Structure 1
Amino acid sequence: MTMLPLRLNPGQDLRAALQEVLPQHGVQAAYVLQGIGSLSVAQLRFAGAAGLTELCGDLEILSLAGSLSPDGAHLHMAVADAQGRVTGGHVAAGCVVRTTAELLLMLLPEYRFSREKDAATGYAELAIRKL
């Protein structure tokens, strides 16, 4: 297990940057333990919704967590707008860093994460394998 602090810069796509971490570090499994910072655009999918909701403006990342696998990322985030209203959901592509995003990841070189269809849920769920 290795801790990896990251800082993302203005204009970076949050999800895309996180999906680049595994190949850059030669691992197949990681968790995003926490994230804070700001966004100018957040693309979120709410529970049970088929489509995305786009939030624009000065947004603060209050919390970001999830798992990373070679098959993709499963990330949840809560953001607050300039009036303090909090919205949260599943993180999609297109979340644009406004000033910074400060993240802490835990790399797990002894594991491989994948997404496999789960008969009970019907969704591609996390499968954990020890290498």
Structure 2
Amino acid sequence: MIATDWPATATRFLALRLPPGADLRGAIESAFAAEPEAAGFLAAAVGSLELARLRPAGRDDAIEVAGPLEIVALSGTVSADGPHLHLAVSDSAGTMTGGHLLTGARIRTTAELVLALAAGQRFHRPHDPATGYNELAFD
């Protein structure tokens, strides 16, 4: 296990409300890039999508899930190397689909997000030969 910690007082919260048509992942990346902190995570997320673009577990290709969809869960970390975000959505029948959030997931009515920004920390994603992926590291 690799771990880091920081005092709760070093965490700042940024609330976002995204309008219809906005790209969910792109908006998170842009909001983070505009802030001085180098480490962040999603503290809360609710809203709806007209389309979700996901990469399910064990796959290299994207799937598209047509809406209307409710955001059931959105979690992950954000760094200057990019985000690692997982999204779960449900359709009008309550069927859930989830995976890695990709660019192109469009907001339907709104998305309300709270991004936590950690002062004094730096998240980055070097290549991990054990997994073959760029994995989270801390400074």
TM interval, short-chain normalised? over 0.9
Cα RMSD after superposing both structures: 0.9
Segments of 5+ residues of structure 1 without an aligned counterpart are: none
Q: Superposition pairs for residues 1-131 of structure 1, below 5 Å? A: 1-129=11-139
TM-superposed CA distance for 1:36, in Å, is 0.9
Q: TM-score, normalised by structure 1?
A: 0.95
Task: Identify unmatched segments of 5+ residues in structure 2.
Answer: 1-10
Amino acid at match of 2:120: E
1-side partners of 2:80 and 2:17: how far apart? 21
Point out 4+ residue stretches in structure 1 off by more than 2 angstroms.
none
TM normalised by structure 2 equals 0.89
- Aligned letter for 1:84? G
**Structure 1 residue 33: deviation in Å?**
1.8
Aligned residue type for 1:92: L
CA distance in 1, matches of 2:32, 2:96: 30
Structure with greater strand share of residues: 1
